[in-house]
Copies of this chain bind each other. A is one copy, B any other.
């Protein structure tokens, strides 16, 4: 359970799993991506709507044998660059960078005390706040994406639940006290080692005001959401899923993976595919 390997894809690459007896050099991507359908975009509106077909994801290829069938573990450079960890944070000893016995991923290991510095994705928690047909957005006063609009959200801290963290961030960034209604979305962004967890929430009262990290907070009517000035792909996806659900008449929980287009700029928030879109 505590041991893990790096797995970034199911496509061709170096097979390093100890437990695979065959190397699949040319296995194809077996996940089905949901399609990004911009057909409903009208030239007169900045709003972008896409349609998602919920998909299932599988670790095997239909019809192939069970061994070749198994996931192909591919070692690639990750968002958390282990080679930047040069010292042990507990004893100060210099680290070496090796794949530990029984593991399959490069780690920073202390040459004095032997401890391993594991790197794990971080959760970003936030609220999609509904109020009388409007949603609350914050204009960022910090980098990255200074001056662009976002949902109140930030890193989850040790010692709090995701819902508590989402309410804290809402207080810090929008000065708003909210009631969390339900989970709305989990969106993984493997490239940068982040997972967004967004809750639907409602204002307890009409008092809100920008905190130090926000320039402005505003309630936007649904047809006025500034899709051309959003801060992050995750926010773009969340708001589109929300509008899509409203159009269908029912809000649901969404799980998905945001894969940024290779080589695209971080500021190009539409350069992504939403893959492995799953719903309960």
A123 close to chain B: CB less than 8 A: yes
Evaluate contact between A163 and B57: CB separation under 8 angstroms. Answer: yes
**Bound complex: CA A182 to CA B204 (Å):** 32
Closest B residue to A4 by beta carbon equals B157
- Whether the Cβ atoms of A1 and B71 lie closer than 8 Å is no
CB-contact partner of A169 in B4, B79, B197, B251, under 8 A = B4
In the complex, A42 Cα to B180 Cα: how many Å? Answer: 35
Cβ contact within 8 Å between A121 and B123: yes
- Distance between A70 CB and nearest chain B CB, rounded to angstroms: 5
A207 to B124, CA, bound (A): 37
- Tell me how far the C-beta of A147 lies from the nearest C-beta in chain B, rounded to whole angstroms: 14
User: In the complex where A59-B177, A66-B205, A158-B79 touch, is A1 in contact with B153 (Cβ < 8 A)?
Assistant: yes
A111 within 8 A of B: no
**Cβ < 8 Å to B, chain A residues 246-265:** 251-253, 255, 257
A257 to chain B, nearest CB (A): 4
- Binary per-residue interface labels of chain A (181-224) against chain B in the complex, 1 for a CB within 8 Å, 0 otherwise: 11110101011010101010000110100011100000000000
> Could you give, for residues 1-43 of chain A, a 1 whenever the CB lies within 8 Å of some chain B CB and a 0 otherwise?
1111111100000000101000000000000000000000000
From B66, B108, B177, B280, give the contact of A71 (CB < 8 A).
Answer: B177
Query: Which chain B residue has the least Cβ–Cβ distance from A251?
Result: B280
For A158-189 the 0/1 string (1 means CB < 8 A from B) is: 11111111011111110101111111101010
CB distance from A229 to the nearest CB of B (A): 16
Q: Is A44 in contact with chain B by the CB < 8 A criterion? A: no
**A139 CB to closest chain B CB, in angstroms?**
12
A105 within 8 A of B: yes
**Contact between A92 and B102 (Cβ–Cβ < 8 Å)?**
no
Across the interface, A87 reaches (CB within 8 A) one of B90, B179, B276, namely B90
Given A160-B8, A190-B161, A193-B159, the answer on whether A171 and B70 have CB atoms closer than 8 Å is yes
Contact A159 to B58, CB < 8 A, known contacts A92-B92, A195-B123: no
Contacts A119-B157, A123-B195 known; list 11 others, CB within 8 Å: A6-B160, A19-B172, A71-B171, A79-B158, A86-B90, A89-B95, A159-B191, A164-B190, A182-B278, A182-B280, A251-B280
Which residues of A pack against B, CB within 8 Å?
Answer: 1-8, 17, 19, 56-60, 62, 66, 69-71, 73, 76, 78-80, 84-92, 94-95, 102, 105, 108, 117-124, 140, 142, 150, 153-165, 167-173, 175, 177-184, 186, 188, 190-191, 193, 195, 197, 199, 204-205, 207, 211-213, 251-253, 255, 257, 275-276, 278-280
